[in-house]
Every structure is written in C-alpha cells, then in structure tokens.
C-alpha cells in the first residue's frame, strides 16, 4: 500500500511526540544501562548477567512498541487535526472604513503533537488586510488569488499542543475599506462540530435611532448556485451600536453568515 501524505505527517508527528515527551525516560534507561554495565564487572555469574540484560532489553522494546501502537491508533482514528469547541467573532468599526476583525477559537488537539494552526479567511475588500495575533506568531500568509478559495494565515503556537490538550487561538485582521467595496457580513463554514459561535458586530458610525435588523442565513457548503436560506433577523442594539448573537450547535457542512446594511 503506498504511503500517503497524511501517513507521513502522522509518522513525523509521532516521532516528534516521542522525542519531546519521552526523552526523559530514555535518559533514565540509558543511565540504568550504564549502572548495569558497571555492575557486570563485579558479578561473577555470567548467565545471570545475560538474563538480566535480556529482560531489560525486552521491557524497553515492549515499552516502545506499546507507545507506537497507541499513537498510531490515535492518528488513524482521527482524520482531523483538532476539535473546535467554541468561537468568538468580533467585527468592529468606528467609521465603516477601518475595520478590526477578531476571532478567538478554543480548540482541542487530536494530533500526537501540534505546533501550528492554519486559519482560513477571506476578505472581499480591495486592500490587503494586515494580519496579527496576540496569542500566536503569524509565520506565513497564503494568498490563493482566487475569490472562491479561502486564504490562510499560519499561526505558530508558542508551546506545542499535545493530544487532547486545549488552547485558545487568536486571529486579528485590520481591514481598510475606505472605498467601501467589501461585503457587509461575517461568515463561518462549519466543517467541524462546534458548540457555540458568539457573534458581536459593532458599528459605532450608525446614527441614533437606527433600527435595521441584520439577517442570519445559511447555505450548503457544496452549493453551486450559492442560494442562502434565511433563518432569523437580529435586532440592532442602539445603546451599544451593535448586533449580538449566539449560534448554538450549528449544523455541519453549512456556511452561516450574518449580513447587515452598510
């Protein structure tokens, strides 16, 4: 059977996990082996020495094989890198020209070791966004040059995330929409189960008494025609100049978006 890219990645992750997590154990065994070597000098019964060394080698082999089997099971059971537990989305602008878009995402790793997180995004304006993060280092930004494909920001974790560990991912984009060519919406493609997405859309430039509702709608991710289904209307809070909504347990393989009037 040919070795796939996913299998190569899994083997690489497993090797890194073993080196980082179990190097202390191997140092212990190496020290024990050295002490055993010293003890051999003072032991006259060679058969006893051979039996002891054989037992030691067998136990070390069993330990390594058990670890590899367990990690390969983890890699094979999960066909995804992480679980998405909750997401907070904030869109804020004072003048409808300069926009701050932030996402806080709580994830749980399903890989043996995870040291970076690719965040998918798509900006519909004409000026390139400035990408940053308060919690991770942005090591690369991949522009696909295709409006139908998401661009990606590679966020490097300061500390590796091991299997079943959780961490908050932060993505921040400063957006220039002085020509007002961008779409006035925020959207999420639901390809992994998530318990809650909290949306907060702050439009400080709106006049007092503004009362237009935003629209929450969705469509199938693989929908070719892109027809959205209207779900609910979200009222505008005039005191905070914002829309706020909690999307609970959205269905898989749908794209959800909140749209509002410019």
Q: What is the mean pLDDT of residues 88-116?
A: 94
Residue 105: pLDDT over 60: yes
Whether 54 and 157 share a structural domain:
no
Which residues, other chains included, contact 180 with Cβ-Cβ below 8 Å and sequence gap of 6+? 96, 97, 262
pLDDT band of 48, cuts 50, 70, 90: low
Q: How confident is the model at residue 20 (pLDDT cuts 50, 70, 90)?
A: low
Give me the DSSP letters along 42-79.
Answer: H---HHHHHHHHHHHHHHHHHHHHHHHHHHHHHHHH--
Are residues 163 and 124 both part of a single domain? yes
Task: Tell which of 42, 77, 112 closes a domain.
Answer: 77
Is 54 in the same domain as 102?
Answer: no
> 227 and 150, same structural domain?
yes
Clarify whether residues 147 and 237 are in a common domain: yes
pTM: 0.72
- 136 burial (CB, 10 Å; 0-12 / 13-18 / 19+) is buried
CATH number of the domain at 254, please.
2.60.40
- Which of 58, 77, 96 terminates a domain? The answer is 77
Same domain, 206 and 88: yes
Write out the two tokens for 246. 């909690």
Residue 235: give the domain boundaries.
Answer: 82-259
Domain count, the chain: 2
Say yes or no: 154 and 38 in one domain.
no
Using the predicted structure, report yes or no on whether residue 1 has a pLDDT greater than 50: no
């Amino acid at each position: 059977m040919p070795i796939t890219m996913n299998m190569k990645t899994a083997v690489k992750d497993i090797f890194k996990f073993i080196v980082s997590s179990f190097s202390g154990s191997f140092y212990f065994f190496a020290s024990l082996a050295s002490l055993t070597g010293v003890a051999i000098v003072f032991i006259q019964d060679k058969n006893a020495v051979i039996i002891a060394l054989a037992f030691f080698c067998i136990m070390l082999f069993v330990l390594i094989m058990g670890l590899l089997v367990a990690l390969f099971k983890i890699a094979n059971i999960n066909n995804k890198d992480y679980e998405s537990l909750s997401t907070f989305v904030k869109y804020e602008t004072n003048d409808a020209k300069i926009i701050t878009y932030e996402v806080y995402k709580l994830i749980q790793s399903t890989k043996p070791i995870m040291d970076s997180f690719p965040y998918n995004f798509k900006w519909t304006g004409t000026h390139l966004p400035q990408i940053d993060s308060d919690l991770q280092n942005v090591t690369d930004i991949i522009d696909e040059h295709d409006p139908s494909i998401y661009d990606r920001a590679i966020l490097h974790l300061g500390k590796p995330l091991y299997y079943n560990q959780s961490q908050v991912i932060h993505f921040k984009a400063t957006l220039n929409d002085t020509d007002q060519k961008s779409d006035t919406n925020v959207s999420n493609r639901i390809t992994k189960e998530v318990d809650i997405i909290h949306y907060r859309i702050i439009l400080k430039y709106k006049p007092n008494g503004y009362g237009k509702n935003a629209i929450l709608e969705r469509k199938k991710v693989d929908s070719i025609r892109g027809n959205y289904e209207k779900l609910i209307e979200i009222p505008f809070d005039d005191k905070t100049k914002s829309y706020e909504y909690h999307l609970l347990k959205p269905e898989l393989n749908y794209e959800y978006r909140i749209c509002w009037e410019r």
